[in-house]
Amino acid sequence: MAKLTLSEFQHLFSQASLRPENTGVDPSLLNGIIPGGTLTSDAAIEVYRTGHIVRLTEALGETFEAVWWVAGDEHYFQLAKEFLLTHPSASYNLSDFGKLFPDFLDKRQPFSDLPFLADLARFEWLFKEIFHLPQHTSLTADQFHQHPLSGNLRLSFGPSIRVFQSPYSVYEIWKLRGTIQNSLPEKIWGTPQWLLCYKHQQQVYIKHVSEPEYLLLGHLIAGASIEESLDRTLQEFSDITATTVSDLFTVIKHTEIVTLLTENTAPISGDADL
């Protein structure tokens, strides 16, 4: 039998380490394994396979702590195993593992009484992303006040600024993670929410906003001018009040999420990714 190249060996070893239980290993790989002690080649690969699954399960649980807490140990371990066997890690950085977990839960829908699980996972992945993004240099509230808020003014936001929405109160569930709860009644998670998520002085902050504020903020973050953002928001909320707009800009000022204010009369194309 021809000797495997390094790339062939790596490919077969990767497949073997993530194979389901009770499935065979390519004989050409077994011939290239030199086990230690009394282990057979099969047993040596099985030790690695088990350890690999455990490490990835733990890494996934560090990111999706609230999902683990809601699902419980037994169900979480089963879901994690099913996910990693169907979505093998493609990155050398273990912290990248799990990006597709929310989509997996969305398609899988493992619990009929916990319809929020996929959105909870999306929130946890977003929180992780924001936490690892660089800190920005903010305009202070005083610097912000020096610019008149004309219609063609555009706001540049820091790289860690995000908006998040869900038909479920996933932030409230996330805050309960690790506590002892006999159940999660719908009154806890059954209302929609819109959130401003941002990093400031190395801390991640979450702030509730209304749906009109969420839409307006999303358009501003996408690069639309104040006038363009208001026009687009008014298409969906024709009754938005001046007070709502004023309150949102007060939030923008005092959270220091803006890095630059510019005057630009040229319109842009596209909307916010809401």
Q: Let me know whether 86 and 186 are in one domain.
A: no
In the prediction, which pLDDT does 272 show?
46
pLDDT digits (tens, 9 = 90+) for 151-170: 889 999 999 999 999 999 99
Picking from 77, 112, 147, the residue at the C-terminal end of a domain is: 112
Q: Let me know whether 186 and 66 are in one domain.
A: no
pLDDT digits (tens, 9 = 90+) for 193-234: 999 999 998 899 999 999 999 999 999 999 999 999 999 999
pTM over 0.95: no
Q: Let me know whether 67 and 122 are in one domain.
A: no
Give the strand pairing for 193-200 and 258-263: unpaired
pLDDT digits (tens, 9 = 90+) for 61-111: 999 999 999 999 999 999 998 998 888 766 556 667 899 999 999 999 999
In the prediction, which pLDDT does 24 show?
57
Q: Let me know whether 128 and 206 are in one domain.
A: yes
Q: Let me know whether 93 and 141 are in one domain.
A: no
Picking from 80, 112, 144, the residue at the C-terminal end of a domain is: 112
Instruction: Tell me what the pLDDT averaged over the chain comes to.
Output: 83
H-only helix segments in 111-259: 117-132, 141-145, 170-176, 186-189, 211-221, 226-236, 242-255
Q: Let me know whether 272 and 240 are in one domain.
A: yes
Report the alpha-carbon distance of residue 56 to residue 8 in Å, rounded. Answer: 23
Q: How confident is the model at residue 148 (pLDDT cuts 50, 70, 90)?
A: confident
Angle at CA of residue 123, ends 175 and 225, nearest 5°: 120
Quick check: 2 pLDDT over 90?
A: no
Q: Let me know whether 273 and 150 are in one domain.
A: yes
Q: How confident is the model at residue 48 (pLDDT cuts 50, 70, 90)?
A: very low
Q: Let me know whether 163 and 58 are in one domain.
A: no
What counts of helices (H) and strands (E) characterise the chain? 13, 5
Q: In a 10 Å sphere around its CB, with 0-12 CB exposed, 13-18 middle and 19+ buried, how is residue 56 labelled?
A: buried
Q: Let me know whether 92 and 141 are in one domain.
A: no
Q: Let me know whether 140 and 85 are in one domain.
A: no
**At a CB cut-off of 8 Å and minimum separation 6, what does 10 contact?**
none
Query: Average of pLDDT values for 164-189?
Result: 93
**CA contacts within 13 A on the Cβ side of 25:** 25
Q: Which percentage of the chain shows pLDDT scores above 70?
A: 73
Number of domains in the chain: 2
Q: Which domain holds residue 160?
A: 117-274
Picking from 83, 112, 141, the residue at the C-terminal end of a domain is: 112
Q: How confident is the model at residue 116 (pLDDT cuts 50, 70, 90)?
A: very high
